[in-house]
Amino acid sequence: MAEVKPFSSVHYSSAKVDISKVIMPPYDIIRDTSVYYSMSPYNVVRIDKGNDEAGDNDAENKYTRAAANLKKWLSEGVLQRDKEECYYIYTQEYLTPDGKKHEMAAFFGLVKLEEFEKKVVLPHEKTHSGPKVDRLLLMRQTKSNTSPILSLYFDAEKKVDSIIRRYMAEEKPYFDTKGPDGIRYRIYRVANVKEKEKISSYFAGKKLFIADGHHRYETGINFRNEMREKGAAAGSPYDYILMCLISMEHSGISILPTHRLKSEFNHDILGAAELEKFFEVKKCADEKELREVMVNSAGKKIIGVFGNGMCHALTLKKKEYAKIVNLSEHIMDYYLLDASVLHRLLFERILGMDEAEINKNIDYTPDIDEAIKMVSEGKSKITFLLGPASVEEVRVISENGEVMPQKSTYFLPKLATGFLINKMEE
């Protein structure tokens, strides 16, 4: 099963830089890198998401500059390498779209790369296919993991969580800082040999489920294979990848739904022959009432539809739905996921849409207010509002070897980049 181990991280020296000015959000959600370039000459953006420059070529480009910055900052002491292998407990405050503040607690470690078919590290939902050339080019130059992969594990008996909570209650953080948005981050070093052994041994019988970073994980496997072809032995540092490991039950992570927005949509939903066979149809007075219905829809299997002449809540008739699903293909829990109900029942069966039409001109947001506003302001034609997947649904789907439909979940918080780097060579 999963091999999880501590590592000697590369991290910033708080004596050299203001930690709050050198971290950034995940590279794939940053639209304007200039904000982070201007915060500090040592901001991790210069390594993890550098800008293209005029005259760039194969020998000089943002990836070679990333490697040069990493090497230079290490030589200057701006970055330093931990002298011993540790696990690193990580806490992060965050806000959900309703404005409420939460705190997530997890830990960083290295995980041995295993192909998905070995069923040790698994995707929890379908993703878009396609190589991430950018991440591979960066990894080749820096020989480092600069952005952590977010993975889930189950810890019902709090074996790992109890260690995390003790550090949070009794130990002094190694880093304790607030980002530009006022969000607090803390990191604790777990150097105690017995506690490290407890954590490592716990995962020897466990599977991990990737929540965010599927493509980076696949890139890690590709890079490992490249290095093996160049002579790296099995068990080398290239066999492992940096992960932030999060307990589904106790971490404080939030799972939000991912609402669908369509800029073009010409189907008559209310006139569809089988709509009322499978759904109870409720017309809402306005978007405010629809929003209230959806906010309280968790577990009720309600699809909200706003736009294209509709402001309706569609509540699934589970008994009727159960009669038509193919249990030899998926378990019933899979079919009852909100995303499955929307795509397989409403889109495919009732409206006769194929996959190409479903995915054409589609956008996603976890924010219900944004989804409604986009339609109200005419920026999108129609939105389909979903309820969130529960921890129990993720557990059942994962433990039965199923993979959730694409964009079934949106996890918060999004991890900060820059606190810890896994450098795969001395």
Which of 25, 410, 12 lies closest to 179, judged by CA?
25
The total number of structural domains in the chain stands at: 2
Is 395 among the domain residues?
A: no
CA separation, residue 352 to residues 18, 103, 347, 358, 386 (Å)? 56, 43, 6, 10, 20
Both 318 and 368 in one domain: the answer is: yes
Is 419 among the domain residues?
A: yes
pLDDT score for 180? 77
Both 171 and 31 in one domain: the answer is: yes
pLDDT score for 391? 83
Both 144 and 213 in one domain: the answer is: yes
Kindly report whether the global pTM for this prediction surpasses the value 0.85: yes
Both 225 and 360 in one domain: the answer is: no
Is 333 among the domain residues?
A: yes
Is 407 among the domain residues?
A: no
Is 394 among the domain residues?
A: no
pLDDT score for 337? 95
Both 44 and 175 in one domain: the answer is: yes
Domain containing residue 128: 4-254+413-423
Both 219 and 302 in one domain: the answer is: no
- Exposed (0-12), middle (13-18) or buried (19+): which is 348, by Cβ within 10 Å? middle
Is 301 among the domain residues?
A: yes
> Mean pLDDT, 10 residues at a time, over the chain (426 residues)?
96 97 93 95 98 95 98 98 97 91 97 94 72 89 96 94 97 93 94 97 93 91 96 95 95 94 96 97 97 91 96 98 95 96 97 95 95 97 95 86 88 94 89
Mention every residue, 6+ apart, whose C-beta is less than 8 A from residue 17.
40, 42, 78
- Return the residue matching tokens 């006769």: 352
For 236-309, list the strands marked E by DSSP: 240-247, 254-256, 259-262, 279-283, 302-307
Both 16 and 88 in one domain: the answer is: yes
Both 54 and 188 in one domain: the answer is: yes
Both 281 and 246 in one domain: the answer is: no
pLDDT score for 299? 86
State the Rg of the chain over Cα: 23
Both 226 and 324 in one domain: the answer is: no
Whether 422 contacts 374, CB under 8 Å: no
CA separation, residue 25 to residues 30, 181, 307, 413 (Å)? 7, 11, 33, 10
Both 240 and 317 in one domain: the answer is: no
Distance CA 276, CA 103 (A): 42
Both 193 and 134 in one domain: the answer is: yes
**Which tokens in the block code for residue 278?**
């499978």
pLDDT score for 153? 94
Is 406 among the domain residues?
A: no
pLDDT score for 130? 55
Distance CA 250, CA 106 (A): 9
